[in-house]
Structure 1
Amino acid sequence: MKRYGNQLWVQVVGPDRYRIGMTDQLQCDAGDISYANIAPLGALDVDDTLVNLEASKAAIEVASPLKGQVVARNEAAETNPSLLDSKNPTDHWLIELSQVDAQAFEALAKEE
């Protein structure tokens, strides 16, 4: 099941693991991505910067829709930002969080 917030999708991928990635709308708004700076491992609060993007249409700072601990990052996308242009969610995910409040996840939008 996916939820949506801040032009990002959030999906439960395991016990206490939430993967966050870019929606089609964010990909469209950004254009071809040439640079990505993804949040580091550690604590992340709601509205903290999750990713800074530089792309053909805009430079975008995207805020986190959830609070938690960043336990995984898509480091391949920082090295090769064009992965974030992919329509494949296994390529354009950004981070995985743990220690997320399940009610905060459920409060996110059900549709993009």
Structure 2
Amino acid sequence: MKPATAAKKLGVYLEATPAEFQEGVVSRDELNALQTEPPEWLRDLRRNGPHPRPVIAAKLGVSISGLARGGITGALTTEEIDAVKSENPDWLQRERETQAEVRKEEARLKAARTES
């Protein structure tokens, strides 16, 4: 598979991976090996970043669209994510409320489907 696909499956920011990873092709076996026994560079990326937007959104408790509305369009490190959390800006509070409402509505719809 392409390195971008592998990076997405591993939950890491492609541009932060080693050059060999970015330039090569990753087989299923190699991907499985990276997932079960991650090398130091992968553990470090997962721990410190920079992180891709889906990971940032999950760590902040918002959607990817919410990140864009908040002005975050690129990768952030764990330290930068923690700084955003501690600042707790207005956009983050709004997006978390929106995300909570979306989850609540999804749960309501799921319950309605199971009752039918």
> Shorter chain as normaliser: what TM range?
under 0.3
The structure number with the bigger radius of gyration is: 2
Higher relative contact order (CA 8 A, sep 6+): 1
- TM-score under structure 1 normalisation? 0.23
Greater helix content: 2
- TM-score under structure 2 normalisation? 0.22
